[in-house]
A and B are shown apart, each in its own frame.
Chain A
Amino acid sequence: MGKQLTEMLKGTLEGIVLATLSDRAAYGYEITAWLREQGFSDIAEGTIYALLVRIEQRGLVDVEKVPSEKGPPRKVYSLNVQGQAYLEEFWKTWSFLSERLDQLRKGGR
């Protein structure tokens, strides 16, 4: 993944993760694996984990510890009402930003 993509991703990763959780609950590794499938090949599991901790602390997700066949219990994250509201806000901001950038590319002001 290019340096520029990494930088741009930083500001949007939170929204991306919340969006993946809006379909269904998931644990950290599932989210990382899914993002890698989507072409974000260099994403580290730790990056997603740190982000999940943050959105948990901010009350945007609910967490349930689910026993796993091998290893310690997995923390399964699901979007709650606050997270849903935050995600809507994120999409609004994203629409604004992408519209403005499209305008800029077309040379309009």
Chain B
Amino acid sequence: MTMSDAEKGGFLAKVIGPKRRWREYQARVRRLPPNQRTAVEAIERYLMHFVPTDGDSSASMFEDLADLFEQAAADGTPIRGIVGDDPVEFAEAFVKNYSDGGYAPARERKRLIADIARSAGEDTAEDDKTL
């Protein structure tokens, strides 16, 4: 049995697509000046702890991070001028645009919301389906 072209396309887009985008992002990071590169890699390591909404938004997140640092490098913005005094705050404001949550996955957050609603005697039939 062979896969239809559409299925193959969908499958390839899912597996090869993000992978290629990831490799392209890594190549962009390697071309940055050493300080910027070190900063991006540190932020990247931190961002890895968050659960992305999907592969596409995860790829966009790293591409946007590369955009920011490439532009800042061209403008001659120092590292602190980019990330500010509190890198954690920057990283969390940044990741919020692409992620549903941190160490506690979105699923767990939904569960907490649903459990509290149930304990408060509210009807949670709808919420349960999305768990």
**Complex: chain A residue closest to B94, CB-CB:** A50
**A65 shortest CB reach to chain B, Å:** 10
Q: How far is the CA of A29 from the CA of B71 in the complex (A)?
A: 9
A47 vs chain B, min Cβ distance (A): 6
Would A74 and B71 count as touching, CB distance under 8 A? yes
User: Chain B contact residues (Cβ within 8 angstroms of A): what range?
Assistant: 20 to 34
The reply to whether B90 and A71 form a contact with Cβ atoms under 8 Å apart is no
**Chain B proximity mask over A35-50: 1 for CB below 8 Å, otherwise 0:** 0000000111111011
Check A45–B97 contact: CB distance below 8 A.
no
Please, how many residues of chain A have a CB less than 8 angstroms from a CB on the other chain?
20
Pair A47/B74 contact, Cβ less than 8 Å: no
Contact A44:B84 (CB < 8 A) given known A51-B93, A57-B97? yes
Chain B stretch 71-121: residues in CB contact (< 8 A) with chain A? 71-75, 77, 80-85, 89-90, 93-94, 96-97
Contacts of B123 in A (CB 8 A): none
A71 to B82, CA, bound (A): 16
